[in-house]
Structure 1
Amino acid sequence: MATSTRRRSAAKSTKGTKKKLTPGQRAEFAEKRKAEVEGLQEQLTAAVVEFASSEGWAALLKKMALRSRIMCRYSFRNVALIFAQCPHATDVCGYTEWKKRGRQVRKGQRGIRILAPNAITPRDEKGEPQKDKDGNEKRITIFRPISVFDISQTEQADGAQEPETADGVTLPEIGAKVQGTAPAEFMDRLTACLKSLGYSVEHGDTGRADGYADPETRTVRIGEGFPEAHAANVLAHEAGHVQLDHTADMDEYVQHRGRMETEAESVAYIVCAVAGIDSSVSSLSYIASWAGKTPEKVQETMIEVGQRVTEASRAILAFTDPDEPESEDESQVQSQDEEHGVTETADAESEALPIAV
């Protein structure tokens, strides 16, 4: 009887502790992780290459606007991976975050795999931190695959309040005629956003343009006599240019006008659509001319453009739609076993595998 009691106590004392991996297990785990990271990279490349067409980019913008919770939480790279694996995703969180929000991932659900950044200090053969030429410890950023889950994979916990969803939201068509009205506070909030960036807003003669941003006078001018929705779209477009820092070097703007106009139009579409304002995107035809000649270059270019659009949209939405969730620190999302919700046993060093960034 006493022996049985000791055995139960020993088993209880080890519950929840990490299992120490042997060198062979660590090597096997590292190879498995490396293969998964390479697979996610291939999936990301295939998804991003599709964005280089006008139709593909327009479809992505619609998803980002309709599911702005995802766009505001994750990097563009991970937004692309989420939609590639779960096209119907509307609200995505890590396993632990869903528990905090009063929801439980249903048993048997497989996670959506994304790539989380992880800053580490490389070590030498003796286990000592490597130093740079100035004698400081080196820090490098690597990426590891982790699991997140869409709200459709969860169920409400007892007593928790059902979250709001985006059901019933109607988005404007890409390229549709800008028409209708705009809430007065939307224009005021865009003006406040530009003011925070050092720009004032005025209405007046804009020549052949609907509006422009003048870096010398730090002024955004919007043409007169437009419908409210069109004026809002123009103001959001110019706010996108300023937020993206396109006005810092006008020679560079002239050289890369196609790309910069696509970025500003994309930001304006997302910001206006989230506010429920009819909008349009008219500069998508430029994409094929500057995206790149090879799949690798297209991926590099479109990820860079997508991340810039994502960050600029977040910054402006902080003014126009302050209820949007803050960006989630992806490095803090806990990786969970997809089948059982059990924290993985491997340590961070064995999980941390470098990929191209």
Structure 2
Amino acid sequence: MATSTRRRSAAKSAKGKNKLTPEQRAEIDEKRKAEVKGLQEQLTTAVVEFASSEGWAVLLKKMARRSRIVRKYSFRNSMLIFAQCPHATEVRGYNEWKARGRQVRKGERGIRILAPNTVTPRDENGEPQKDEHGNDKRITFFRPISVFDVSQTEGKEPEPETVADGVKLPELNAKVQGTAPAQFMDRLTLCLKSLGYTVEHGHTGSADGYADPTTRTVRIGLGFPEAHQAAVLAHETGHVQLDHTADMAEYQQHRGKMETEAESVAYVVCAVAGLDSSATSLSYIAGWAGKTPEKIEETMIEVGQRVTEAVGAILEFTDPDEGQEEDEGENADAAEAADSETEKVPAAA
């Protein structure tokens, strides 16, 4: 009986939806376009606020302490989550929370993010349309969906974040003092091994460490505290993971940007492990971020997404217990988290 009831309900819902007039559909479409535009404007405002050395440092701290969000959502959607819910620590769709034994409290307002939905357009015969290379065309739409922070739910207690709130950014160019977290350097070494690099210790001249693409070796300098060696190793792992060593001429041309990317990755990875690392390159940001809000947004989102992806890849080795979940944050969970209206809205997001 229950199955029959669900089928009737679904049929009734589908039947009701088909009764929408062209005018009603146009109204829904315009409302969604307006919300997408509003979210994109909110994203621009949020990103511009981080486009300074101080602002980027604040963002890195937030990323480290909210690693579950950063590992689940794109940089864009992480920024939208932080902007709408600054205290957010773990964010999921309604049904995903329900499956984990927690219920969104009645009256809670969802955090709105942009979910991608890629489709293949078809011709009048129902066949996939082709591009100039003969491949199936792929068009990506973005639509607003609702997700909820754990603070908006109740029920079974979730696992707490492992990173300590005490992790902070030390002074620029400072040597990190103390010992490294247990197995942290071994796990970074395994990550580098998976990328085809080996690790050695030796003289490094004026540098604390470097990655040599010709010998595919990362060398860490001698005489540093263990914690600083770990921070340097994380930094060089960031360079390799980000593929900065592939073209050294390009590295020299965009050195400030690449150093910021690598040090940002290192800071977040170290912080998740509970290690205060030295953010030595944050002062570069003001020079390359851009002059207009539009250029700042474009550049910072590009860098932020690269950092986010590299952090996720390295954390699979250094923080395996919390490992990356299936790619559900903006795809599988998107459909169940969305409102009842699901009209597609093409947008640049």
Give the structure-1-normalised TM-score.
0.89
Give the aligned partner of residue 175 of structure 1: 171
1:346 corresponds, among 309, 331, 341, to: 341
Letter in 2 for 1:172: K
Where in structure 2 are the equivalents of 1:3-14 lying within 5 Å? 14=8
Q: How does 1:223-238 map to 2 (within 5 A)?
A: 223-238=221-236
Output the CA distance in 1 between the equivalents of 2:56 and 2:283: 10
Deviation, 1:346, is 3.2
Task: Name the aligned partner's letter for residue 72 of structure 1.
Answer: R
Secondary structure of the corresponding residue to residue 221 of structure 1: strand
Q: CA separation of 1:15/1:230 partners in 2, compared to 1, >3 Å: closer, same or farther?
A: same
Deviates more, 1:72-81 or 1:19-28: 19-28
Alignment partner of 1:252 out of 250, 256, 278: 250
CA contact 2:65–2:163 (8 Å) conserved in 1: no
Which of 161, 186, 189 is 1:188 aligned to?
Answer: 186
Look up the equivalent residue of 1:331 and give its one-letter code: N
Cα distance per residue 1:314-333 (max 9 Å; x no partner): 11110011122425331222
Deviations, residues 35-84 of structure 1 (Å, cap 9, x unaligned): 00000000000111112111111001001001101011000010000000
CA contact (8 A) 2:196 2:216 kept: yes
CA distance in 2, matches of 1:115, 1:31: 16
CA drift of 1:94 comes to 0.7
- 1:89 partnered with 2:88: yes
Distance 1:49 1:164 in 2: 31
Q: Which residue of the other structure, out of 190, 206, 211, is the alignment partner of 1:213? A: 211
Partners of 2:163 and 2:248 in 1: CA distance: 42
CA deviation vs aligned residue, 1:321-351 (integer Å, no higher than 9, x gap): 11224253312224568xxxxx64434xx2x
Equivalent pairs counted in the alignment come to 337
Distance of aligned partners of 1:198 and 1:153 in 2 relative to their CA distance in 1, 3 Å threshold: same
TM-score by length of 2: 0.91
Q: Does the Cα contact within 8 Å between 2:195 and 2:241 map onto a contact in 1?
A: yes
Change (3 A) 1:191 1:77: same
Alpha-carbon separation, structure 1, partners of 2:90 and 2:55: 21
Structure 1 residues 12 and 196: CA distance shift in structure 2, 3 A: closer
Q: How much is the aligned-residue C-alpha RMSD, in angstroms?
A: 2.1
Could you tell me whether the CA contact under 8 Å between 2:315 and 2:323 is conserved in 1? no
Query: SS where residue 333 of structure 1 aligns?
Result: helix
Deviates more, 1:242-251 or 1:115-124: 115-124
- Distance of 1:214 and 1:253 partners within structure 2: 13
1:289 aligned to 2:284? no
Q: Does 1:50 align with 2:49?
A: yes
Q: Hey, what does 2:153 align to over in structure 1?
A: 154
Counterparts in 2 of 1:273 and 1:24: CA distance versus 1, 3 Å? same
Change (3 A) 1:345 1:14: farther
Distance in 1 (CA, whole Å) between partners of 2:69 and 2:167 is 16
Alpha-carbon distance between aligned partners in 1 of 2:153 and 2:75, rounded to the nearest angstrom:
24
Bigger CA radius of gyration: 1
Measure how far apart 1:207 and its partner are: 0.4
Distance 1:355 1:139 in 2: 14
AA matched with 2:333: V
Identity %: 71
Distance 1:13 1:116, change over 3 A: closer
In the alignment, residue 164 of structure 1 is paired with which amino acid? P
Q: Shift of the alpha carbon at 1:172?
A: 2.2
Q: 1:148 to 1:325 in 2, by over 3 A?
A: farther
